[in-house]
Structure 1
Amino acid sequence: MAASIEELMSALTGSGDPVEELRALKRAALALPLSALRERVPELRLGGIFSLMNGNDQEQVVLCVAILERFLQASEPVHIARNYKEELQRGLYHPEDSVKLLAISQVGRIVESSEAMTEILNDLELLKQMILCVAGDELSVAREAVKSLSRIAGSRPGLQLLFGSNLLADLKSVMAVSDVVRYRVYELVVEISSVSAESLSFCTNSDLLPQLLEDLSGDDVLVRVTCVEMITALAGTLHGRQYLAQHGVIDKISNMIVGSDSDPFSGLYLPGLVKFFGNLAIVDSPQQICEHYPAFLQKVFDLAQGHETTMIGVAVDTLGVLGSNVEGKQVLQKTGSKFDDVFKRIGHHAKNSSTELRVRCLDSISSILLLPPDNHTDDLLAMAESWFRGMSNQPVEVFRSIASQPFPELHCGALKVFTAIANQPWAQRMMIDSPGFVEYIVDRTVDPDKDSKDAKFELVKSLINAKTTAAVFGNQHYLRLRAYHREGPYYIQAVSTVAVEGAE
């Protein structure tokens, strides 16, 4: 009969070589369902395992970490905080990164519980050690420390403690270790600032956020790249955008785009600048952003028509995001022939470039051409038709050709374009006028894998859900689409065999 967890725990006491007992305990802990373990863990005393974790034997440490992860996972945060806070603090000093990760992750769990967090907030030494872990050599440890500190600052008491005590001096001291560590602290500051206007105010008053904004104008190009990435995250919130606008940061980034033509190193940070405005346009207003910062859209057009593959990809992705809603589509339409030329160029890349760029172009095309079912105005339908026809003399055949290639990502990308326009009457007429198009749609043998079959099914579903399909396609073709949809994407036609007398 297998020993119980309690018996295995007792066997650890006084054992000269506890590795074998730890192996058995690990097996028992992993074999027991978490629900059953939750009932027993409060009665167990885990101090002995924490002590064994401080040994020099590598396997012993690994076993202790695995066992404690399981037991602590089954424990309530308040129970951990009240019974093992000191053990967790010692774990933060441990030379093994796996032990540090265990301790930091459990502190992160504790601070998510309002009842348990008070136990942590009363221990400045533990919090200081958490901050020191941000400067650790192991990236996973540093990231977990940033995540847990961000959770601590998620409450007002934690926010006040982190920025209103000696811990702020510890944060600033850690920043001096290296540029890498400095930007880990900035990452923490941006995460905290994004939570609320109050959090942003604390980060501003600490001088940490203003220091990040100053680095945006520095001479180090790589530093600028990192700054733009972080500022983009802050711009995802309304209070963050207001702060950046009030401090002239958005104007500064716009000016960086304007000046990028004369900067030989602009290729390093320009993608980040474009991404910043692209995200800004979506969370704010495409029309306002493009009108107030015309250099952004002009730069995107220039990149899309350039010859550098990396920059073309950035521009294509940005246009896909910008054109994903009706307001963004209208902004693009207002540029007239400028966007017509750009869209035709994207269509060219969808046919002729590297597979990766072709897939990105197909995603962008489908995003731009997609119209909400409840917003099929004559103007929008005419706009989408004009863009689609402008890509090629025979655009339906072009995308059918792409869909016929033996690359699943291209196959699905082309089907996604057809799905985007499938509920628009002009597109349905072009489809039915293309010889063999319906036969292609209902032919399952041309779809090589599950993703392709799913993509084809989405196209059929979009067609049968459209109000105009029956009238445009005709009753016979419409019924074939309905049958395909009813049978599902993975239907296999049964083949019956007839036995012939005398045949082998």
Structure 2
Amino acid sequence: MAADLKVVLAALLKDISERSSCENLAEAKAILSATRAENIYNVSKDLDLSPLFSCSSKFNGSTLDELSELLGKLLDAFPPSALLSAHKQHFVTALNTSDGALKAVVLRQLIRCSKDNAMLSQLARDHRILESVLRLLGGEDLWSSKQSAILLKQMTREKEVLSAMLHPPVSHVLDSVMDGGDVCRFRVFEVFVEVARASPENLERLSESGYLERLVKEMDKNDVLVQLNALEVLTDLVSCSHGLDYLERTGIISKLRQKALNIGSDPLGNFLGPGVLKFFGSMGVTSPQRLLLDYPQVLGFIFDSVQSDDPAFQVVAAETVGIISSTIQGKRVLQSHGDQMSRYLKTLSQNLHSGKVDFKVRYLGALANVLHVQDSSCEDLVNLTERWYSLLGDRPTDMLLRLCRQPFPELRCATLAVITEVARVPWGQATLAAQPGFLEYLLDRSTEADKPCKEAKFAVVATLAQVQPRGFSAEDWQRIRTTYQEGPFYMASEAAVTFEGLS
């Protein structure tokens, strides 16, 4: 088979080069699909693949796509070390062509190389590749831009790459990309924030370079869309402790606090409000204590926003409380706001009884965070979540089961995610065991037809099966265990047919 592949590939490469023909393409693809990777490499490493890298000047449409796919499969067989040594120049050239399919192949291979530490060092030393990737980051092809961002984040794990990006000549290319408009500028900011989050050292270097300061100053511009983009990127930065420290030093958190408190009187408040909420929600996950102690008015603003007359703003505020409550420290901070949490949970319950389905899904996501307990041995948190669950109303489990029977898969999945959290803790297990019809519903596989819903329901089964749940009889627990052992996609009819065929 390897010998056949070599003959066919050699003929194909010759035809492409000399006759602008690819008559053997179908045969090459067929043999390639039946050949092991090591054999593909042993054949390909001795062939000149240049014609496949330059075929965009001779072919177009589906033929060009098929040739690019063929090249990708050949390169996939190369070990990263051999790939760079054999094709680095081809890669540099390809990244600067207009052939989108070829660029996609090369970017995928470079991402593969960047995950290999030894190859990462080689990539770091070649500024031609780095400059080409930066140009793609600012290009019109959205897919290439996204892949370039992924590659840059990988490459900057090597300190030499970050250093090169921040100094000439590479920094000139970077500045040129940022001068390409708001979209290009924020693509660069997104990469830099991801790099800064990776370590305090990276953040310090980016701070010294002035690029992070430029990001912070975007919030001073009059363009509301620019401010929204800046808020989104800053929300990522505040999600790590050293990012939070940096943003406090710059004074931007104090400015955002003021924006939060003035949203009612700010003409742009309706636009900026959700972004401000998400920013402080991210901060509340990073350091709930600092949010409570240093910015108590902001926490009040978040709770007040849950009672907003604007449904879209209200659901973002509810999600923000949910995000803050997803951590142990976040729950303990919110515990000290008992009255506000009581109002919050009652509002959550009311909105789960009425409103748009997509909003209900988001409220359920917030509730799942509120009820999540990572370690059920933390007795105080287990008791806290039980109290919070009771604040949802007289019969919260009835409400959840009604939602589970609604004809909307995304709503059922979100509800089952909440029930999974309830099933993790002893009080929740006892509550579910005492709920009329719950076990029958749980073990009835006919209620779900979609794969995500089957998996969501099975998550509840798996949670109960892996502990000795409180409140369930030994017989009922065995039924749960049996369902768990059968897996999420078991079909009793299949088992019956198989058994009948054997009899």
Asked whether the two chains share a fold, i.e. TM above 0.5, the reply is: yes
Q: Secondary structure at the match of 2:45?
A: helix
* CA distance in structure 1 between the partners assigned to 2:435 and 2:269 by the alignment: 45
Cα 1:410–1:107 change in 2 (3 A) is closer
Percent identical: 27
Q: Which residue of 2 aligns with 1:24?
A: 27
Which of the residues 335, 338, 346 maps onto 2:348?
A: 346
User: What is aligned with 1:103?
Assistant: 106
Residues 374 and 247 (structure 1), Cα distance of their counterparts in 2 relative to 1, 3 Å cut: same
Corresponding position of 1:499: none
RMSD: 3.2
For 1:388, give the aligned amino acid.
Y
* CA distance 1:331–1:25, change in 2 (3 Å): same
Could you give the per-residue CA deviations for residues 34-80 of structure 1, whole angstroms, max 9, x where no partner exists? 23313332222212322434435445533332222111111133323
- The answer to whether the aligner puts 1:240 opposite 2:222 as a matched pair is no
What are the residue-to-residue correspondences of 1:2-21 with 2, within 5 Å? 4-11=4-11, 12-13=13-14, 15-21=18-24
**Other-structure match for 2:501:** none
Q: Deviations over 1:102-126 (max 9, x none)?
A: 3334344444445445654554444
Secondary structure class of the residue paired with 1:13 = helix
Q: How does 1:341-490 map to 2 (within 5 A)?
A: 341-371=343-373, 372-377=375-380, 381=383, 383-422=384-423, 435-436=436-437, 440-441=441-442, 446=447, 452=453, 454-459=455-460, 462=463, 469-470=470-471, 477-488=473-484, 490=490
Q: 1:175 corresponds to which residue?
A: 178
Inter-partner Cα distance in structure 1 for 2:496 and 2:56: 64
Q: TM-score, normalised by structure 1?
A: 0.85
Give the CA deviation at 1:466.
6.1
SS in 2 for 1:37: helix
Match for residue 223 of structure 2? 220
Work out which of the residue numbers 263, 279, 288 in structure 2 matches 1:286: 288
CA distance in structure 1 between the partners assigned to 2:427 and 2:350 by the alignment: 22
Whole-angstrom distance in 1 between the partners of 2:445 and 2:290: 46
Give the Cα–Cα distance (whole angstroms) in 1 for the partners of residues 116 and 215 of structure 2: 31
Tell me what 1:309 maps to. 311
Question: How do 1:111-130 and structure 2 match up within 5 A?
Answer: 111-117=114-120, 120-130=123-133
Cα distance in 1 for residues equivalent to 2:127 and 2:496: 74
Which one has a bigger Cα radius of gyration?
A: 1
Q: Deviations over 1:414-471 (max 9, x none)?
A: 444444334656556655665555555555555566655555554455556666724x
Q: Structure 1 counterpart of 2:358, which letter?
A: E
Which residue in 1 is equivalent to 2:269? 266
User: Where does residue 39 of structure 1 map in the other structure?
Assistant: 42
Please show how residues 126-137 of structure 1 align to structure 2 within 5 Å: 126-137=129-140
Tell me the matched-pair count: 488
Aligned partners of 2:277 and 2:320 also within 8 Å: yes
Contact residue 411 and residue 452 of structure 1 kept, 8 A: yes
> Aligned letter for 2:218?
D
Name structure 2 gaps, 5 residues minimum: 498-503
1:30/1:347 Cα in 2 relative to 1: closer, same or farther (>3 Å)? same
Kept in 2, the 8 Å contact 1:442–1:481? The answer is no
Q: Deviations over 1:179-198 (max 9, x none)?
A: 21111222222232223233
- Alpha-carbon deviations, 1:347-373, whole Å to 9, x = none? 111111111222222232233234442
TM-aligned CA deviation for residue 159 of structure 1: 2.2
For residues 217-276 of structure 1, the C-alpha deviation after alignment (integer angstroms, 9 at most, x for no partner) is 211111111111112222233332222222222222222212222222223232222222
Distance 1:236 1:33, change over 3 A: farther
Q: Does 1:189 align with 2:192?
A: yes
- Rounded Cα–Cα distance in structure 1 between residues aligned with 2:316 and 2:148: 32
